[in-house]
Amino acid sequence: MKTKAFLTNDDARRIAAAAEAEAQQHGWAVTIAIADDGGHLLWLQRLDGAAPISAQIAPAKARTAALGRRESRIYEEMINQGRVSFLSAPMEGLLEGGVPIMVDGQCIGAVGVSGVKSTEDAQIARAGIAALGA
C-alpha cells in the first residue's frame, strides 16, 4: 500500500499566516482559501476590506487547482486561446489564483486567493505554500 502526505490543521494555519503576511505587505484585501486534495475547504479567511464575492471565488480557485492538480491559470489560458468549450467543464475557478500544493510529486491540496489582480492572487498563494517548505 502506498502512503502520501496530507494537510493538517497546523499546515493550513501556517499557509494562511504566510499568505496573509504577503497580502498585508502589499496592502491587498483578499480572501484566502485552502482545500485538501479532494477540493474540500479546510480554511477560509476574508481579510478586512476584501470584496464579498471573493469569498466565493477563492474556494473555487482552490478546488479547481486541487482537483486538476495544476494551477487554475492553465484553464484560463486554454479558454483565452480559444478552447471555449472548457467553460462547460464542471469547475468554477477557471481564473488564475489557484495553486496546487505538491509534495513528492503528489497533490495534497491547494490554495486559492481572490481580491486583487490574478497574478497577485497567485503570488499570495505561492507565498503561503512556501511556508510549508515543500
* pLDDT tens readout for residues 69-85: 999 999 889 888 988 88
State the CB neighbour count (10 A cutoff) for residue 57: 23
Any domain includes 32:
yes
Any domain includes 109:
yes
Residue 134: per-residue pLDDT: 67
In this structure, the chain runs to a length of: 134
Any domain includes 25:
yes
Mean pLDDT confidence for 87-112: 90
Any domain includes 4:
no
Domain residues for the domain of 28 are 9-130
pLDDT surpassing 80 at residue 55:
yes
CB 35 within 8 A of CB 110: yes
How far apart CA 134 and CA 130 sit, in angstroms, is 7
Any domain includes 48:
yes
Any domain includes 2:
no
**How many folded domains does the chain comprise?**
1
* CATH number where 70 lies: 3.30.450.150
